[in-house]
Structure 1
């Protein structure tokens, strides 16, 4: 179980890597984002996270080919 900081309780919700990094990189008014302050490290971080997300997506696609067949989709 993971801890939900908003509700102050345990939760079993899962968050994708893409959603997590989008949340961490989001610009918020009135808050300082430490990650964005370091330019070269920020660029490296973004590239590494992009590679991780692409890797996760390809690792999902390969073993789930039977579920993802385009013939099974309803075309409008």
Structure 2
């Protein structure tokens, strides 16, 4: 995923803002794991925004489906 992002970024000639939703029991229930995960990603992509709210994965799928439908 990182390499794909960097290639698109180079083609666009600008830095893209990335949003990452933090899900999964290890990332959400163990603070040190979440902290290291976020810090490592921010080393490579400092503009990254993290969503740590407890939101249903189904809602994320719904938003992705709406986005795809708008493309058609």
**What TM-score results when the alignment is normalised by the length of structure 2?**
0.29
Higher helix proportion: 2
**What TM-score results when the alignment is normalised by the length of structure 1?**
0.28
